[in-house]
């Protein structure tokens, strides 16, 4: 299971509050607990914004830290990224190869940005993907002066990803077949992290 950018700035009081972040994190935590109980691998992806003018996920701030509901356990793998694509300029692919991952389960925030980019990148790299819809969240967008509600953004992006790039499911429907040796989520097995929690 790959958990993408479920970080404090996306929650109430943060610098980029999303619609439904808390509910999505609860669903992500539910799936995470199942992966941990089954001793299946998990990767936490954390975004740090280093571009000039960035307003959230600033390095060293509380807002950039992974939210407590899905906080990594000691020894779990954390991948730090500075781009929308979790595979770009990171060790994510090397970690998945070390896990001998053949299929990925993904969730996170924002649906229309880093989740969408991550799923498409994983698909392009040859991974069958499963996206946990209710463990993702996004926000209202504006197009041509018109506000597009978060629910519509969410529906459009999930529908698009579900067309080709991923099997879109809800948290309660995530099955953990024993044949899944390494879906991407956090790992209770011994593993040398690429990046340790700060």
Domains and CATH numbers, the chain: 2-173 (3.40.50.850)
* Residue 177 reports pLDDT greater than 90: no
Q: What is the pLDDT of residue 185?
A: 40
Nearest alpha carbon to residue 120 among 163, 79, 70: 163
Q: What is the mean pLDDT of residues 166-175?
A: 97
Query: 172 burial class (0-12, 13-18, 19+ CB within 10 angstroms)?
Result: exposed
SS3 176: coil
The pLDDT mean for the chain works out to: 91
Q: What is the mean pLDDT of residues 70-88?
A: 97
Secondary structure (H, E, C), 48-86? CCCCCCCCCCCCCCHHHCECHHHCCCCCCEEEEECCCCC
* Residue 196 reports pLDDT greater than 90: no
103 C-beta neighbours (distance < 10 Å), count = 17
Percent of the chain with pLDDT over 70: 89
33 C-beta neighbours (distance < 10 Å), count = 12
Q: pTM for the whole thing?
A: 0.89
């Amino acid at each position: 299971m790959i958990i993408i950018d479920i970080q404090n700035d996306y929650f109430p009081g943060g610098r980029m509050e999303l619609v439904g972040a808390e509910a999505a994190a609860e669903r992500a935590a539910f799936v995470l607990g199942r992966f941990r109980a089954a001793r299946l691998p998990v990767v936490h992806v954390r975004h740090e914004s280093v571009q000039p003018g960035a307003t959230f996920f600033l390095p060293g701030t509380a807002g950039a830290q992974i939210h407590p509901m899905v906080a990594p356990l000691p020894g779990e793998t954390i991948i730090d990224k500075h781009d929308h694509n979790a595979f770009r300029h990171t060790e994510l692919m090397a970690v998945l190869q070390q896990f001998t991952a053949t299929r990925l389960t993904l969730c996170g925030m924002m649906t229309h940005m880093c989740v969408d980019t991550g799923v498409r990148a994983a698909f392009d790299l040859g991974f069958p993907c499963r996206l946990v819809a209710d463990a993702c969240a996004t926000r209202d967008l504006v197009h041509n002066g018109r506000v597009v509600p978060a629910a519509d953004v969410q529906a459009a992006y999930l529908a698009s990803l579900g067309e080709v790039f991923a099997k879109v499911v809800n948290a309660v429907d995530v099955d953990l077949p024993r044949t899944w040796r390494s879906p991407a989520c956090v790992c209770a097995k011994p593993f040398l992290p690429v990046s340790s929690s700060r």
